[in-house]
Amino acid sequence: MTPAERWVEEVAKTTRPASLVWCDGSDAEHARLMEQMLSDRTLQQLHPRQAPGCTLHRSHPSDVARTEHLTFIASRSQEAAGPTNNWMSPQDARSRVGALFEGVMQGRTAYVVPYVMGPLGSPFSKVGIEVTDSPYVVANMRIMTRMGKPALDQLGASEDFVPGLHSVGDLSPDRRFIVHFPEERLIWSIGSGYGGNALLGKKCFALRIASTIARDQGWMAEHMLILELELPGGETHYVGAAFPSACGKTNLAMLVSPLEELGYKVRTVGDDIAWLRVGDDGRLWAVNPEAGFFGVVPGTGPDTNPTAMATIDHDTIFTNVAVTPDGIPWWEGKDKSPPADLLDWQGKPWDRSGKAAHPNSRFTVAARQCPSMSPKWEDPKGVPLSALVFGGRRARVAPLVFETRDWEHGVFVAATMGSETTAAATGQVGVVRRDPMAMLPFCGYNMADYFAHWLRMGRKLSRPPAIFHVNWFRTGPDGKFLWPGFGQNLRVLLWMIDRVKGKGGAIETPIGLVPKPTDLNLDGLDLPHTTAEELLRVDKDAWAVEVQEIRSFFDRLGPRLPAELGRTLDALAHKLGVTASA
Ligand code: OXD
Ligand code: MN
């Protein structure tokens, strides 16, 4: 028996499924599963010509987003999980959550899903095995990972895999837990079928567990898109960008260049997760560990993301969107006018008072369907990054873009970024919280140690990427966004590449290097000069308030916070002329 078989046997003894199916990832197996899900109404076939190969899944209304308050790090010491994670001792997890797994799969089929995160054949790829009683999860894992036989071939008789046990249980939030055992590299998830809680290769493995492996092995697992930017003449740059959930990573990764005719092209490498390593050349290299996109549907439309629209027009699993009686999917932002007789995301006739599609409704689609994929997206060595970008959703405070002074300052800016919460997680929407590196819900260990790891990584990079901060969401007094957004974000990326190349103007401000309106290529954009100035304005009073908030965030992290970050905060306070003390 291989270690994988032994673990699966052990799990089956606890969960007692009626049958056990090892998934090979084949077309025949997929067809069988789809047929079964269509007949038991787990999935509904969508319109054969308007949405060929597409299906709709409606989840339980209480199971529509990640549940951060039910997500735990079960490290041996609470200190190892740190103050930003929910902690449960491994013993508690074993008794409290373990009890819920006893016999939970009786009468159900358990699917054993071997999968690879990362391109096949890449030295950076890693194997996971998820045992789940949800065929919907299997169908999603088949899109999001390299699933089945290739994973077993890569694993062989090795014990180097991340085991993940998942059951939908009774779907009750009272019995819902997503638990990570970082020392054992083990994941348990029960009570939810929602992607971020149930597709264990994604947030649970590729971010939370991988971030702890990465800390131990000297690399990084980050919540970042990766895009390729080609300049006229063919020079190519890669950019990694970390924004919190539902803040536009997919849209930026699939950006259509408004300057394509001038030779500026954008291609996609990944839209959510990047595994980063120091290359022999001293640069930072990135791999997208995923094989598909699990994207937010509302707001995806022909203006915001025509590439995504082309990607999801066939062979896509939609979850919790609205639908016409003849099976055409619809969501807010798809087009201007909702069709008549729409059924909302719960399948009820839509009365037009609330949202037709759930704000966190999702598409699951294979990356190979996306017309903008870079030829390098599955390159086993990854791609070298010229720039890292961090950003949140801030109606006020942060300017459109600024460059940090060096790696250490970049880590400070990334570590202290704030963002308004979105519908990707349950809870209040629109509340500003610190979301360091967009990893608040995904860092598998103590956040202060994570910052120290970032600083350590910087010392290993002889040619580090430049680090920038962006905010596409600044609003004017009328509450409207100041920046036209979408494709125009390219103009901001081009300024970054100019800076990387030692060109491009900027002025020193207390927070970093900010372009003047004339430093950005705004040709052909109908953007009044005063609006451009407002977008780039550094509001010292607002930043003074920000300093106090950062100070209390740092206080929460306690004495493990790297001294460099405290010193950088003091320097910022000093430049702003505010008292540095708490
Ligand atoms: C996601 C998320 O699904 O961040 O990518 O919630
Ligand atoms: Mn994400």
pLDDT per residue as tens, the chain (582 positions): 999 999 999 999 999 999 999 999 999 999 999 999 999 999 999 999 999 999 999 999 999 999 999 999 999 999 999 999 999 999 999 999 999 999 999 999 999 999 999 999 999 999 999 999 999 999 999 999 999 999 999 999 999 999 999 999 999 999 999 999 999 999 999 999 999 999 999 999 999 999 999 999 999 999 999 999 999 999 999 999 999 998 989 999 999 999 999 999 999 999 999 999 999 999 999 999 999 999 999 999 999 999 999 999 999 999 999 999 999 999 999 999 999 999 999 999 999 999 999 999 999 999 999 999 999 999 999 999 999 999 989 888 999 999 999 999 999 999 999 998 989 888 889 888 999 999 999 999 999 999 999 999 999 999 999 999 999 999 999 999 999 987 899 999 999 999 999 999 999 999 999 999 999 999 889 999 999 999 999 999 999 999 999 999 999 999 999 999 999 999 999 999 987 554
Closest residue to atom 1 of ligand 1, CA basis: 245
Closest residue to atom 3 of ligand 1, CA basis: 196
Rounded to the nearest angstrom, the distance between the alpha carbon of 225 and the centre of ligand 2 is 9
What is the distance between the alpha carbons of residues 461 and 468, in angstroms, rounded to a whole number?
17
Cβ proximity of 108 and 18 under 8 Å: yes
- Predicted model pTM: 0.97
Best of 194, 272, 360 for a ligand 1 pocket test (most atoms within 8 Å of beta carbon): 272
Compute the C-alpha angle 465/569/217, nearest 5°.
45
- Burial (CB < 10 A; 0-12, 13-18, 19+), residue 237, is buried
Closest to 413 in 3D by CA, of 435, 394, 431, 433: 435
Q: How far is CA 320 from CA 44, 57, 90, 186, 380, in A?
A: 11, 6, 34, 30, 35
- Burial (CB < 10 A; 0-12, 13-18, 19+), residue 326, is exposed
Q: Closest ligand to 362 CA? A: 1
Question: What is the rounded end-to-end Cα distance, in angstroms, of the chain?
Answer: 59
Atom number in ligand 1 closest to CA 249: 5
Cβ proximity of 389 and 240 under 8 Å: yes
What is the distance between the alpha carbons of residues 422 and 74, in angstroms, rounded to a whole number?
26
Residue 458 φ/ψ region, left for φ over 0, alpha for ψ in the -120 to 50 degree band, beta for the rest = alpha
Neighbours of ion ligand 2 (CB under 5 A): 245, 272
Task: State phi, psi for 224 to the nearest 5 degrees.
Answer: -135, 140
Rounded to the nearest angstrom, the distance between the alpha carbon of 270 and the centre of ligand 2 is 11
Tell me which residues are annotated as active site. Answer: 247
Ligand 1 proximal residues by C-beta, below 6 Å: 66, 196, 245, 272, 294, 424
What is the distance between the alpha carbons of residues 336 and 342, in angstroms, rounded to a whole number?
14
Q: Closest ligand to 363 CA? A: 1
Q: What does the block give as tokens for 76?
A: 């041996």
Residue 486 φ/ψ region, left for φ over 0, alpha for ψ in the -120 to 50 degree band, beta for the rest = left
CA dihedral sign, ordered 157, 163, 168, 169: positive
- Burial (CB < 10 A; 0-12, 13-18, 19+), residue 24, is middle
What is the distance between the alpha carbons of residues 310 and 466, in angstroms, rounded to a whole number?
32
Interacting residues of 425 by C-beta distance below 8 A, sequence separation 6+: 65, 66, 67, 68, 245, 441
Rounded to the nearest angstrom, the distance between the alpha carbon of 442 and the centre of ligand 2 is 9
